[in-house]
Amino acid sequence: MPEDIRALLRSVGGIRITLYRSVVNGHESGEHVDLDHGYNHEVVESWYQEHAGGVGTHWFIYTDHGDGHTYVDVDPQTGAWGPVFQFWDALDTDRMAPSLPAWLDHLADCLEQALADAGNDGAGADVEAFRRRLGDLWPDGDRDTTIVEDITAVQARTSDDGVLRAAAADLPDDARLADLRPVTGRASVNFWTIGATCRYVRRAGGGVVVAIPWDGE
């Protein structure tokens, strides 16, 4: 773990938010914000670890009942932690924040606003009102999302942009890339043209997100 993240965790001390919602068939599915998520340990094997690019390329921090999985990009060569991404079982993915501190800062703002809106006047907030308001604000809230179009690996290798050429150099021709560098806020990509399960890979410090067709095994 890089030193800047260690410094953050020493300061924060830790965070864990757990919500449970009953579904129609009666079983409960959980939502967890956990900076030491079980998916980050090799003893826990999950399809989602490979979907995010394989152990050593990410650090999971949140899962929700709708199969949304949020993780920090990790450079496997340098160990540096980059932007925060979210994906689902489908072929769409979002860059949620430029870094883990920025993602946590947004969460803190949402918690503070939800408490205020739920009537936290010193006597305590209305718990149900707080829960509903937090659900309105986080993680998506009213933030604008920029839709980023993807290109093929072949197109990227012939691009005038050296970063895109380098990102696509060792990719199969049927892989697709999206350049997130021009977007300062939240960014969203749908790799629907792949038409199959994919493995996500990040290049250029998380500035370029790649989807590689994958059979899910």
Would the pTM of this model clear 0.85, i.e. be above it?
yes
Mean pLDDT per 10-residue interval, the chain, length 217 residues:
86 71 52 80 82 92 80 93 92 94 91 86 75 82 85 97 97 97 94 91 96 88
Query: Which alpha helices (H) appear in the chain, and where do they start and end?
Result: 3-12, 47-51, 100-117, 127-137, 153-157, 162-168
**CA-to-CA distance for 138 and 111, rounded, in angstroms?**
8
192 with 91: CB under 8 angstroms? yes
Strand partners of residue 29: 21
DSSP structural state of residue 138:
S
Residue 191, pLDDT score: 96
